[in-house]
Amino acid sequence: MAGYKKKQSKGKTRAKAASSAKKASPERKVAAKKKPATGKPRRAASPPVRRRAPKAFAERVRDRDAGTGVWFVVAGSVEHAVIQGRGNDGAVVIRTDAGVTEVVPAGNLFETADEARTARYR
């Protein structure tokens, strides 16, 4: 079968024709022009918000921040509690882990159990 040429299917010839038609010659490419800025002028960026440093334990007790965990001395033992609110004249309302609400002086509140134990012997 010398000289026999196999016919290509119509789908393949159409695909070749379409791909060659899609390629644009370099002369036809045009650079996209930028549109001039119109409308409202842009607002200046606001300065970044400075975050406050976290409060120290003494500041949280002084401000009587609700939810602050504290240790306190009562009847010679050390217990854990959470600040609930303000009392009178420097007192703090706390709720113990046992669920009891008490009013104690701010000077009787400690950050750790070790600090409370040390204060118990002073």
53-112 residue pLDDT tens:
888 888 888 888 889 999 998 888 899 999 999 888 889 999 999 999 999 998 889 999
Q: Write down the pTM of the prediction.
A: 0.54
Average pLDDT over residues 40-55: 81
The pLDDT of residue 21 is: 56
CATH architecture under which domain 57-115 falls = Roll (2.30)
Note the pLDDT of residue 52. Answer: 84
Query: What percentage of residues in the chain have a pLDDT greater than 70?
Result: 68
- The confidence band for 44, taking pLDDT boundaries of 50, 70 and 90, is confident
Average pLDDT, the chain: 79
Q: Which of 38, 56, 39, 100 is nearest to 75 (CA)?
A: 100
Q: Parse the chain into domains and list their residue ranges.
A: 57-115
CA dihedral of 107, 109, 111, 112, whole degrees rounded to 10: 120
pLDDT score of 10: 58
What is the pLDDT, as a whole number, of residue 97?
93
Measured CA to CA, the distance from residue 84 to residue 9 in angstroms comes to: 85
- Residue 3 tokens, joined: 């000289």
Q: What is the mean pLDDT of residues 32-40?
A: 68
